[in-house]
């Protein structure tokens, strides 16, 4: 038996308030992932393995390795994040400081995140136009301190830092390493990542982590 919807189903392009978006989303179990961006509903497309799932796992593994070695951090996959009254998103990955450790995101009584994560990661295949335009503007305005977008079709990774209210690109140094400004020791060997050489990626990361000791 099909479940009875508690209201009209979510549709791409619906313009809704955040409370109405949440009500419809929670009442429609057929929707796997939906986001409210600047008051407009976006439903996720089916995800391909090579273009999304596999790079997602590599980025998560890199961040998980850092998180387990660094006290006071939380790491999550596709959490619902309430940013403001017109934006409720589900980033592919977030890395946040615990609230008790001075983080700017809190876990609400109903289990969601509220406030900007310190780091957001998006894997952009079919969603590239949104991730590099609307979402980037929303994350910047709401104070997400660092933002990574992996464009799988273009084989390109961009990392921005919020500097005086604007996103500025964090560029590789002469060794080809991007170093987080927010999370000490969070280093990424970009070319090794693009070549799927996770052994080298984790070796460089461990070097950054070791600098914290």
What is the C-alpha to C-alpha distance for residues 188 and 112, in angstroms, rounded to an integer?
A: 29
129 domain residue, yes or no: yes
13 domain residue, yes or no: no
84 domain residue, yes or no: yes
20 domain residue, yes or no: no
The alpha carbon torsion through 181, 97, 101, 108 (nearest 10 deg) reads 150
* pLDDT grade for 3, boundaries at 50, 70 and 90: very low
> In whole angstroms, what separates CA 29 from the centre of its chain?
23
What is the C-alpha to C-alpha distance for residues 180 and 103, in angstroms, rounded to an integer?
A: 16
Number of domains, the chain: 1
What CATH number did the domain enclosing 170 receive?
3.90.1570.10
∠162-163-165 over CA atoms, to 5°?
Answer: 75
Domain residues for the domain of 74 are: 48-210
Nearest CA among 111, 98, 106, 104 for reference residue 67: 98
Question: What's the predicted TM-score (pTM) here?
Answer: 0.88
23 domain residue, yes or no: no
Lowest-pLDDT range of 28-42, 148-162, 168-182: 28-42
- DSSP letter assigned to residue 82: E
pLDDT at position 78 is 92
What is the C-alpha to C-alpha distance for residues 18 and 80, in angstroms, rounded to an integer?
A: 12
* pLDDT grade for 83, boundaries at 50, 70 and 90: very high
**Average pLDDT of the segment spanning 92-101:** 94
11 domain residue, yes or no: no
27 domain residue, yes or no: no
3 domain residue, yes or no: no
In the predicted structure, residue 142 carries a pLDDT above the cut 90: yes
Lowest-pLDDT range of 27-31, 69-73, 84-88, 160-164: 27-31
pLDDT at position 8 is 80
């Amino acid at each position: 038996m099909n479940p009875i919807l508690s209201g009209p189903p979510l549709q791409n392009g619906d313009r809704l308030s955040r409370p109405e978006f949440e009500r419809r989303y929670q009442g429609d179990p057929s929707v796997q992932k939906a986001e409210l961006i600047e008051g407009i509903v976006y439903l996720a497309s089916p995800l391909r393995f090579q273009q999304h799932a596999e790079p997602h796992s590599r980025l998560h593994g890199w961040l998980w390795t850092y998180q387990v070695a660094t006290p006071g951090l939380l790491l999550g996959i596709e959490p619902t994040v309430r940013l403001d009254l017109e934006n409720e998103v589900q980033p592919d990955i977030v890395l946040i400081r615990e609230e008790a450790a001075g983080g700017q995101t809190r876990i609400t009584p109903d289990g969601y995140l509220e406030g900007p994560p310190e780091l957001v990661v998006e894997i952009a295949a079919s969603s590239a136009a949104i991730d590099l335009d609307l979402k980037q503007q929303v994350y910047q305005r709401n104070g997400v301190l660092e933002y990574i977008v992996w464009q799988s079709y273009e084989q390109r990774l961009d990392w921005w830092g919020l500097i005086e209210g604007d996103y500025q690109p964090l560029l590789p140094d002469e060794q080809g390493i991007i170093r987080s400004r927010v999370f000490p020791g969070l280093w990424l060997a970009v070319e090794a990542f693009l070549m799927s050489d996770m052994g080298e990626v984790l070796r460089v990361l461990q070097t950054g982590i070791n600098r914290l000791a």
